[in-house]
Amino acid sequence: MPTIVMCRPLHASGMALLEARHDVTIRQLARPGPAELEAAIPGAHAVLVGLEQVDEPLLDRAPELKIVSRFGVGYDTVDVDACTAAGIAVVITPDGVRRPVAVSIITLMLALTGKLFVKDRLTREGPLGFARRSEHMGVGLVGRTLGSIGVGNIGTELFRLARPFDMRFIAHDPYVDQEIGAELGVEFLSLDDVFRLADVVCVNCPLTPETRHLVNAERLALMRPTAYLINTARGPIVDQKALTEVLRERRIAGAGLDVLEQEPPDPAEDILKLDNVILTPHALCWTDQCFAGIGAADVKAVLDVQHGREPRGVVNRAVLETAPWQRRMAAYRERFGR
């Protein structure tokens, strides 16, 4: 009977899919720390992880493991090469996060340009705050330029949702299909030009060795003093020290960050003291619908593998062509049927 280790509870809809099956065993970790995961992983055939580290030493403890399913789309905490070498598929859940994360970006853009938090504070000050309303005029979006670093799953959805705002769309993505740009009305430019021209720059690329500190002091210096930076991807893509300095010196208008270089941050971190940045705890997209979508995608991927079917969202597609993987899938089809 296949065993599934879950590092975080699923939405009720996802759990219902699993609990309806009598041919799987569920190990739900109450406190998914490294020690707990190491203790639970032996004998597991599948593991559902959040931001837990999945590395070679952990994989060595799980010779039966066939699939690592990520709760979301980032997989920088998973050693993909080690998984491929071990014949393990790494799966992400793009369908579950596409709309929720894109909505989060829109939420931050509207809050920043509308001076939402500033006006909230003014209101709480009573008559004195009301008297200063005209000092904090918001920024209209019609004709402004929305830029995205990356036009993948989430970047594409962002541009689709932003169409009614009548903004100009620009982006940088060396891997994107140019036909997508034509469909979305996006002009593809150099990375520096996106920082130079956009009124709102959104980070929508994965964290890799190449993208670590992609948003650095030099690129932040290209931004307009009226521009905003939004990052809902991964904290280390942005050089947080450089961003803190830019915000402190008011060289850009503000930032919206759902992610930080260190999570959770040190309470003494300088960026937490600034009033021109909106911060959320890597959870702005967390809604009932988001968790339902992710959970359903995770469960479907696990059950697909159990029945010998190729799961959706495989990151390391090379593993699907290996003889060990194909033998395992054939054995599962024989054992559990389609």
Catalytic residue list: 234, 263, 282
CB 256 within 8 A of CB 109: yes
Residue with token string 């593998």 = 305
The CB density around residue 78, as the number of other CB atoms within 10 Å, is: 24
Exposure b/e, 177-201, CB count within 10 A at least 16 = b: eeebbeebebebbebeebbbbbbbb
- The burial class, CB within 10 Å (0-12 / 13-18 / 19+), for 283 is exposed
Q: Is the dihedral of CA 178, 180, 184, 189 positive or negative?
A: negative
CB 235 within 8 A of CB 258: no
Checking DSSP bridges between strand 89-91 and strand 186-188, what pairing results, if any? unpaired
| CA 22 centroid distance within chain | 33
Output the CA angle 137-164-135, nearest 5 degrees.
Answer: 0
CB 150 within 8 A of CB 124: no
Q: Could you say which DSSP state residue 54 is in? A: B
Q: What is the DSSP string of 162-189?
A: HGGG--EEEEE-TTS-HHHHHHHTEEE-
**Phi–psi pair at 304, nearest 5 degrees:** -60, -45
